[in-house]
Structure 1
Amino acid sequence: MSTQPIPQDIEVLAVRLANEEAERAAFARSAKGRREIVQRLRTEAAAQGLPVKEYIEALTKDPKGVTPPHDAAPTSAFWSFGIDHPDAPTNRWNENFLDNRYIAEAWASLQNDRQEGSARTLETTEGGRRLNAMYLWEAEVLNALGGADKGFTEDWTRECWATISETYANEAKGPVAVFAQYADTRSILYNRELPTLQTNTDVGLDNIHFAYEAPQTWPKETRTEVGTDAARAQLQYNDPTKAHYVDPKTYPDQDPTARKAALESQFTSVTAERNERAAEKKAEQAAAKTTEAEQTETAEPTRQTEQTEQTEQTEQTEESTSDTGPRPTVEAKEQDNPKPSASVPLWQLGFTPKPVAVDAGSSSPAASTAPPAPDLQKQSTGPGLG
């Protein structure tokens, strides 16, 4: 049985979400909209004692904003690029284009209707919502914040989204859903999210699942051998000048034994590179914690005294509450039994073909439009090559 296209209810909701977001982005570009954004950011940054730029950068690195609630273990969704759709908002090239972001959000929303807390996307976390509400992809907003002279550029915006995406991937647990056919080398998915997910001990390579099957235009051998979740999570198929490239069209022309050995070599190389990067990052984090500990060392004696007094008071309260010891709290019980995760879908990239009118007088049955092929060069206004 062949894989089904993206369900119609997902399609309808995704298009609605995309158009609602396009309206909010249009308001953000207006004089009133960008003035409200700048004023809000200045107020929030001042409350933290930080300049606006540093405040935004700190938000992207803070795991609290993207960590699931203590009583939930949702399936975290990731996305990249999108697909042509006639009802979607237009992108910067005036093309009707639907980001996979909205397909992922529609899927997560419907999953949460069935089981609360079972699915999420970056843009629906607290940190992701706050960053999204800044509309930093809009040139008008960046200029209102000070523009290139103050470091507010599109490259900086992209780095902000790349950083919070990596933070989000680092906080994921269990199976994750990737709404893309594969990861383009220009994407945040390829450069930040997939490497982080692979080295995240709570996820790992085996828990990375693509929500779309490999491109149907690939030869059968390519789809079977390098169209697997594990292969698409590690390899790339768009840039022959970069490492870990596989040419989908010519792949079947190689000797089967040789190409199998080459794949194993590629996987070993990717794993080694990502483990090395993870070790470097861990060392950097450890160094940062050491510095923070040194800065607070002078206040430690007082803090220890306060903690000792609090501990003694707590122990006395517990002893008087029950002879059998403290009872587990509701929070503790929820931690032992977190809400279940959503299962990862598997769809064709595209939507259910819809009938189109035939020429007047024709007796033939109504034709159907084929699902549009993805164009990885296109992106809509927003995080872009997610």
Structure 2
Amino acid sequence: MRPEAPPTPDEIARAIAFEQEHAEAEPANEAAGRELAARFYRDCLSAQPGKDVPDLLGFIEHLSKEESVTNKDRGPHRAFWSFKSQPEGADREIPHRFLARAYGESRGLQVLEDTPAGNQLNSYFLGNPNVVDALVEHYGVNADKLGIAHGEAWDTLSDRYAEATEGLVIAFAADITEDSVLGKTEMPKLLQSAKVGKENVRFTVPMPQHEHLPPDIDAFIANDPIRCQLLMGDYDPEQSPEEFAMKLHAIDVPEDQKEVHGRIVDRLSTADSYKDLNPAAPEAKRQRVRTNSFLPGVNVSHGIIPASRSGLTSHGAIEPAVAPHIAPKPAGIET
């Protein structure tokens, strides 16, 4: 079975079981929060035997920087996830983090939350209010500093996990958003890696249909090597086709798709609105020629590929704008 093949009924059931187990393990009251906070404190003491008072935030940082992000019992391919979707055969949406874990168990994929570092940090539930309150009340932790340290730890783990990738990237995501860890940290790292790049990214989740895009353009951006280089905001219907053309122009495409890529960029860049791209629109209007404002001084006619596009590297995705830093990643969960 291909590692990116759709989930089986057993994998869907296992993902739901993982979700239920996670919900049951999370502290639901003050007593459970105190118990978990005490375990966290004991682990800090064990890791820092020379200190009478352990450095709790330093323990979190050390864990994120030094503990392994590779499960020795799994294979080389790594799962990356963001948000959730409803797989065929499921009666509801399933968070992708749990679907990824089901694949990891049945198909031998690496999953961050199942690595030594990810599993340990995840087990402390340091984003849970009951745990945070107990650490503040009984161990003198500053809640704001704890939140920052916890978020930075997950960012560090995500970065290290992506950097360690040598096999295929199995992505559990529909549209990739710029405020997700996958969009702002992991995928850019993977695309820049000489060991990964766009050629080794596979999506398990079908890309949603985008009603404002012509079917051929929508199908083009659903190709894995194209899809992994785009963010949902790049083809936002509230933006102009020309803005999308700028983003699409900047990406690196496989050699056998360059001609189609060029034609699509041309069509987008010469349309005033997505309604102009409707196949039913008059042919003369769809093929008109005008000066392209994102290539100053260059007249781009239908089907002509700007020469400057050939200068990209084979692995990178050039983003016209850098996404702003969003709040730190909470306890391995994106909402």
Tell me, yes or no, if the aligned pair for 2:18 and 2:98 is still in contact at 8 Å.
yes
1:250 to 253, 274, 284: 274
Indicate the residue corresponding to 2:10 in structure 1: 9
Residue deviations 1:176-207 (CA, integer Å, cap 9, x gap) = 10001231011000111111212233322211
Q: Secondary structure at the match of 1:132?
A: helix
CA distance in 1, matches of 2:178, 2:311: 16
* Distance change (3 Å), C-alpha of 1:97 and 1:72: closer
Tell me, yes or no, if the aligned pair for 2:80 and 2:169 is still in contact at 8 Å.
yes
Indicate the residue corresponding to 1:358 in structure 2: none
Alignment of structure 1 residues 262-273 onto 2, 5 Å: 264=309, 271=316
Instruction: For CA contacts below 8 A with separation 6 or more, give which structure has more relative contact order.
Output: 1
1:66 to 69, 73, 84: 69
Tell me, yes or no, if the aligned pair for 2:61 and 2:153 is still in contact at 8 Å.
yes
Query: Partner amino acid for 1:65?
Result: S
Indicate the residue corresponding to 2:204 in structure 1: 211
* Distance change (3 Å), C-alpha of 1:157 and 1:149: closer
2:97 to 96, 101, 119: 101
Deviates more, 1:194-203 or 1:172-181: 194-203
CA distance in 2, matches of 1:160, 1:188: 13
* Distance change (3 Å), C-alpha of 1:4 and 1:46: closer
Residue deviations 1:145-171 (CA, integer Å, cap 9, x gap) = 226555122x55333222211111111
1:230 to 225, 230, 247: 225
1:83 to 82, 85, 106: 85
* Distance change (3 Å), C-alpha of 1:9 and 1:132: same
Alignment of structure 1 residues 39-54 onto 2, 5 Å: 39-49=38-48, 51-54=55-58
**TM-score of the superposition, structure 1-length normalised?**
0.57
**TM-score of the superposition, structure 2-length normalised?**
0.64
* Distance change (3 Å), C-alpha of 1:245 and 1:127: same
Residue deviations 1:108-136 (CA, integer Å, cap 9, x gap) = 2122xxxxxx3121111111110110112
* Distance change (3 Å), C-alpha of 1:120 and 1:251: farther
Tell me, yes or no, if the aligned pair for 1:236 and 1:245 is still in contact at 8 Å.
no
Indicate the residue corresponding to 1:145 in structure 2: 135
CA distance in 2, matches of 1:262, 1:130: 50
Alignment of structure 1 residues 1-386 onto 2, 5 Å: 6-25=7-26, 28-49=27-48, 51-62=55-66, 64-69=67-72, 73-83=75-85, 98-111=94-107, 118-146=108-136, 148-149=142-143, 151-153=145-147, 156-217=149-210, 219-238=214-233, 250=274, 253=277, 257=302, 264=309, 271=316, 383-385=332-334
Q: Secondary structure at the match of 2:127?
A: coil
* Distance change (3 Å), C-alpha of 1:186 and 1:6: same
- Offset, 1:33: 2.4
- List structure 1 runs of 4+ shifted beyond 6 angstroms: 241-244, 246-249, 265-270
RMSD: 4.0
Tell me, yes or no, if the aligned pair for 1:222 and 1:251 is still in contact at 8 Å.
no
Tell me, yes or no, if the aligned pair for 1:214 and 1:223 is still in contact at 8 Å.
no
- Offset, 1:232: 2.0
- Offset, 1:385: 2.5
Deviates more, 1:233-242 or 1:45-54: 233-242
Query: Partner amino acid for 2:25?
Result: R
Tell me, yes or no, if the aligned pair for 2:78 and 2:169 is still in contact at 8 Å.
yes
